Amino acid sequence: MADKTAFEIPEQMRALADKSVDQAKKAFDEFMGATVKAVEKSETSAKTLQSSARDVNRQALAFLEANVAASFDFAQKLVRARTVEELGQIQQEYLKSQVETAQSQSKDMAEAIGKAASSVQQPGKK
């Protein structure tokens, strides 16, 4: 059998190395904890963003549906008009209604987008 070569490290060096390893492990554990929290927060933000985008999309679709319905209603009224004056009145009423609707929908959409942006910045508050 081969003789074992003595390998002596002073006790102070061992203690220092042991302490360094413990500190490195503690720093790594803290880093991993912070990383896990960051990932969880980004996942929460992504879910909140998806939910908010879904809400905005639904509202946009509702506006689209209402606008198309108003257009069909307008077309039906035009088809039933008997005079040029009646055509003009129907056109005027439709334009006035569409301007009011557009203003209302723009305001509502801006609020919905603002809420969506706010909910992404502050998850958990809706």
Q: What is the mean pLDDT of residues 62-87?
A: 91
Q: What is the mean pLDDT of residues 67-93?
A: 92
24 falls in which pLDDT band (50, 70, 90)? very high
Half-sphere exposure in the Cβ direction for 121 (13 Å, CA): 6
Structure token pair of residue 56: 């905005």
Structure token pair of residue 82: 């008997």
In angstroms, the CA 91 to CA 78 distance is: 8
Query: What integer pLDDT is reported at residue 3 of this predicted model?
Result: 65
Residues belonging to the chain = 126
Query: What integer pLDDT is reported at residue 73 of this predicted model?
Result: 92
In angstroms, the CA 77 to CA 57 distance is: 30
pTM, to two decimals: 0.60
Structure token pair of residue 81: 């008009």
